[in-house]
Amino acid sequence: MHTNPDLTIQSFLDYLKFEKRYSQHTIRGYAEDLSFFCSYLQTVFNETDVAQAPSSYIRSWMADQKEKGLSAKSINRRISTLKSFYKFLIRQGVISLSPMTTITSPKISKRLPVFVEQKDLHTLFAHVEFPQGWEGRLHRLILALFYSTGMRLSELVQLKDSQVNCELSNLKILGKGNKERIIPMTTELQLLLQEYLAAKVQLEGAEDFLIVTENGKRTRPRYVQQIVKNYLSLVTTIEKKSPHILRHSFATHLMNNGADLNAVKELLGHSSLAATQVYTHNTIEKLKDIHKKAHPKG
């Protein structure tokens, strides 16, 4: 049964948006992957119906991606896109068997999450001088929110005043797929937020987004990324200096200090333990290091 590939792909993307409630960013990634695959099918095999592509065509595309220097991680993401797409087509009754059953993903060498050392973050919050006025207050709060809660950049820029509960000392975060999670605040973060919100009331016509500039307008992701990069540059020499590195630092420091893996999973908003388990490797590396330094035969 031949199908209209444009309609088939669009119905899949609609399913991701309305039923799976994926973010625009994630849906755009799926759409790009499918667009590249369709283009390859048409150019190399003169096949216009993506639903009818056999596994040999998919293997050919994977080989082509590898030859072009695409990383194993990127190839795996494209395999994942096609698996989801063909699973959707089976559910819709368009095909009866997925061509992905014989496709294997290339192995990825596990890289440990990069993080900022605890002592360096202590230096940042205890000794680095922040600018006077609104700018300094905003910068300190942004850094404290990332490190004290482990939230994602997208979650921070979307955060509303109403999601802050100073009475119960927690934050309600709206994560991937609109999943809610509650994160407790440290005493230090709570004080910062109370001072910030009291000052924000004085801003004329401020938006109800929590993180706003001095003119009351919500901040953009790039602006927040630049702030994090600038301040981390003062205390660490690690190559990547992004909000996500502070998320890694939050999780790694919790694990290194004995936090329960399931608790860290909930705090990060991971849907499965597999994503959180990568932080246990850093803990193991730390234990090895301690053992090597402290054991008589180390």
- The DSSP secondary structure of 116-127, one letter per residue, reads --HHHHHHHHHH
247 included as an active-site residue: yes
Write down the catalytic residue from 59, 176, 218, 229.
176
Dihedral sign computed on CA atoms, order 141, 143, 144, 150: positive
What does pLDDT average to over the chain? Answer: 91
- Which tens digit of pLDDT belongs to each residue from 15-44? 999 999 888 999 999 999 999 999 999 999
Band of pLDDT at residue 105, cut at 50, 70 and 90: confident
176 included as an active-site residue: yes
Write down the catalytic residue from 247, 248, 253, 265.
247
- 105-114, 142-151, 175-184, 197-206 — most confident range: 142-151
Write down the catalytic residue from 59, 87, 218, 244.
244
Q: Which of 11-20, 100-109, 112-121, 246-255 is predicted with the least confidence, judged by mean pLDDT?
A: 100-109
152 included as an active-site residue: yes
Q: Which residue has the tokens 């893996």?
A: 261
Axis crossing angle, helix 221-235 with helix 133-149, rounded to the nearest 10: 80
Q: Which of 74-78, 128-132, 271-275 is predicted with the least confidence, judged by mean pLDDT?
A: 271-275
pLDDT score recorded for residue 1: 52
CA gap 189, 110 in Å, rounded: 33
Instruction: For the chain, give the number of residues.
Output: 298
Percent of the chain at pLDDT > 70 equals 95
Band of pLDDT at residue 108, cut at 50, 70 and 90: low
pLDDT surpassing 60 at residue 161:
yes
25 included as an active-site residue: no
pLDDT score recorded for residue 104: 86
pLDDT score recorded for residue 228: 98
CA gap 262, 146 in Å, rounded: 20
2 included as an active-site residue: no
List beta partners, residue 181.
173
pLDDT score recorded for residue 109: 62
Listed in sequence order, the residues at least 6 apart from 130 whose beta carbon sits closer than 8 Å to its beta carbon are 136, 137, 139, 140
218 included as an active-site residue: no
- Which tens digit of pLDDT belongs to each residue from 173-223? 998 878 899 999 999 999 999 999 999 999 989 999 999 999 999 999 999
Question: Domains plus CATH for the chain?
Answer: 5-102 (1.10.150.130), 118-294 (1.10.443.10)
Write down the catalytic residue from 152, 200, 241, 253.
152
Band of pLDDT at residue 84, cut at 50, 70 and 90: very high
When pLDDT is averaged across residues 118-136 and rounded to a whole number, the result is: 96
- Alpha-carbon distance values, 174 to 170, 171, 213, 263, 289 (Å): 13, 10, 22, 17, 37
CA gap 60, 66 in Å, rounded: 10
Band of pLDDT at residue 155, cut at 50, 70 and 90: very high
Q: What is the pTM (predicted TM-score) of this model?
A: 0.70
pLDDT surpassing 80 at residue 54:
yes
CA gap 264, 283 in Å, rounded: 13
Collapsed DSSP state (helix, strand, coil) of residue 71: coil
DSSP 216: S
pLDDT score recorded for residue 100: 96
Cβ atoms of 21 and 178 within 8 Å: the answer is yes
Write down the catalytic residue from 17, 83, 218, 270.
270
Cβ atoms of 61 and 82 within 8 Å: the answer is no
pLDDT score recorded for residue 87: 96
Cβ atoms within 10 Å, residue 107: 8
pLDDT score recorded for residue 5: 73
